[in-house]
Amino acid sequence: MRWWDIEPVLALEQRLFPEDAWSAGMFWSELAYARGADATRRYLVAEDAAPAAAAGPAGRLVGYGGLAAVGGTGDIQTIGVLPGHRGTGLGARLLRALLQAATDFECAEVLLEVRVDNAPAQRLYERFGFVPIGIRRGYYQPTGTDALVMRLADPAVYAAAADTSGDAPANTLPHPHQGTKSHG
């Protein structure tokens, strides 16, 4: 993700998480730590490279995700996938890329929070080896929805593993500007 992706990501954020969407300032702040030798963040976007006629123009943003890494621990900050692209493997591909970023950042573990009422996301994380370790009461505001805290002990194992659910279709590819360890 680069600065020019922030506006399209905000549009997705509003559509996917209308009650607790991130602000532009939050994304700008995260991207400030995604570049250079001391980078501690990795944010990715996925574009629909060859959409169906009804889906809109090629290059339309269909998903995104982000990871923060501090002191050997990664934290999945966000993953969002448009409803029309769910079940295609895109969420798994984004998660795998974030786990690879955690491995690049030399994280020994990865944590995340997921809404307690989001069973499909929980199943995805469990498929990648995440296990529940606690509940954060009222974590998602303003609704006060609880968050399930999950932990993955060895992200390198799952970053390299093949997707057992099938690959995402060729028209759902990660954005070419994903960045590298030293280039965000």
The one catalytic residue in 64, 125, 139, 158 is: 125
Q: Which residue has the tokens 């730590």?
A: 33
Query: How far is Cα 148 from Cα 175, in angstroms, rounded to an integer?
Result: 29
43 is catalytic: no
| C-beta separation of 90 from 63 below 8 A | yes
Q: Is there a catalytic annotation at residue 125? A: yes
Sort strands 41-48 and 73-81 into parallel, antiparallel or unpaired. Answer: unpaired
Rounded-to-integer distance, Cα 93 and Cα 46, Å: 10
Name the catalytic one among 13, 30, 47, 113: 113
Active site residues: 113, 125
